[in-house]
Amino acid sequence: FSKRMGPNMFSFYEQSMNADALKRMTIENHLRQALGRGEFALHYQPQFDLVTGEVCGAEALLRWHNWELGNVPPIEFISIAEENGMIVAIGEWVMRTACRQTRTWLDQGLPLQRIAVNVSVNQFTHTDFLNMVKSILEETTLDPQYLEIEITESLLVKNVPETTNILHALKKMNIRIAIDDFGTGYSSMSRLKEIPIDCLKIDKTFVDGIAIGKRDQSIITAIIAMAEGMNLRLIAEGVETTGQVDFLRVKQCQEVQGYLFSKPLSTQQVEVFFQKAFSLEKNLENTGDDVP
Ligand code: C2E
Ligand code: MG
Ligand code: MG
Ligand code: MG
């Protein structure tokens, strides 16, 4: 430390570090009780087919409401849960809740084609992961083809033989695999070639850049071409403007997800959303009948 910073400067630095550490500790302590207290919920963000305009799937996103901390966003607690291992139990709850809810919705006739569930690296490499997924699918009687597991590129470069085996085992079970935040990680093209993936999700940062200029546009164009060549589905994440949609449509990106179309919705909001879409469809059909 430079003497010129003076004693006040030092104590300010020290205090701010303590505040961060304290906040972390508070979150961690509350997190320990969160499952048992039923403080978690899942919200579901619809994904849309750009050609038909219809909902094709939804991504399950974890929400935590704590009595003292209020709503804590995933960005503030997921990494803590990953570091202390709690993500294994939390992730199992997420998987079970998402699968059970999807099964219920399918029984109610909601036209969902798939549910996407985020899975952390240390959850994925946990010894029981495959059995956990298998038994939840059995327990909820959800057909595995409805489940899409979202992993990030960082998983692909870690424990390569082991993760490759797990990915192939999931594929064999008829579960789909999507690469989340695609383009922000370090996976190589050759690595992508050797694993059984179904879908790439173009990260929001590239979508944000569409309005800014050629660089991000070129990256998206390249990712779209690659996905097409490899026969992968493609979802653009975090779509917020009609300008972005126009660009993605011209480039023939298949699917979109973002606030422009829908925010993540509570279970109840999802049902209202589908009811509205359904009655809209009915109205259109009725209008059609009147036309000779
Ligand atoms: P992600 O999987 O990439 O999820 C997309 C995030 O972008 C979500 O944030 C979603 O609410 C947000 N988003 C969607 N559309 C838009 C948009 O148009 N504009 C903006 N600004 N944001 C948009 P969320 O729910 O806060 O989740 C953040 C991250 O936390 C997720 O990123 C995922 O990595 C992680 N996460 C969330 N739920 C789970 C979970 O159940 N398990 C695990 N392991 N991670 C999760
Ligand atoms: Mg995701
Ligand atoms: Mg993402
Ligand atoms: Mg992410």
Query: Given this model, what pLDDT does residue 18 score?
Result: 84
Distance 213 CA to ligand 2 centre (A): 25
- The structure tokens listed for 262 are 């829908």
Cα–Cα distance list, 152 to 15, 81, 166, 241 (Å): 35, 17, 14, 25
Query: Given this model, what pLDDT does residue 11 score?
Result: 59
Ligand 1 in contact with 62 (CB < 6 A)?
yes
CB atoms within 10 A of CB 176: 21
Query: Given this model, what pLDDT does residue 190 score?
Result: 81
Query: Given this model, what pLDDT does residue 292 score?
Result: 43
Cβ atoms of residues 68 and 30 within 8 Å: yes
Q: To the nearest whole percent, how much of the chain has pLDDT over 70? A: 89
Ligand with minimal distance to 116 CA: 2
Query: Given this model, what pLDDT does residue 288 score?
Result: 46
How far apart are alpha carbons 5 and 273 in whole angstroms?
57
Ligand 1 in contact with 73 (CB < 6 A)?
yes
Cβ atoms of residues 200 and 227 within 8 Å: yes
Query: Given this model, what pLDDT does residue 19 score?
Result: 85
Task: Name the stretches of the chain with pLDDT < 50.
Answer: 1-3, 288-292
Task: From the CA of 81, give the closest atom in ligand 1.
Answer: 44
**Residue 49 one-letter amino acid:** D
Tell me, what's the ipTM?
0.98
- The structure tokens listed for 221 are 């164009």
Pairing status of strand 115-118 against strand 70-72: unpaired
Query: Given this model, what pLDDT does residue 17 score?
Result: 66
- Atom 35 in ligand 1: which residue has the minimum CA distance? 74
Task: From the CA of 117, give the closest atom in ligand 1.
Answer: 41
Task: From the CA of 42, give the closest atom in ligand 1.
Answer: 41
Please give the helix or strand (H or E) that residue 36 lies within, else none: none
Ligand 1 in contact with 75 (CB < 6 A)?
yes
Pairing status of strand 176-182 against strand 147-152: parallel
Choose which residue among 78, 90, 119, 150 to substitute to test ligand 1 binding: the one with the highest number of ligand atoms within 8 A of its C-beta: 78
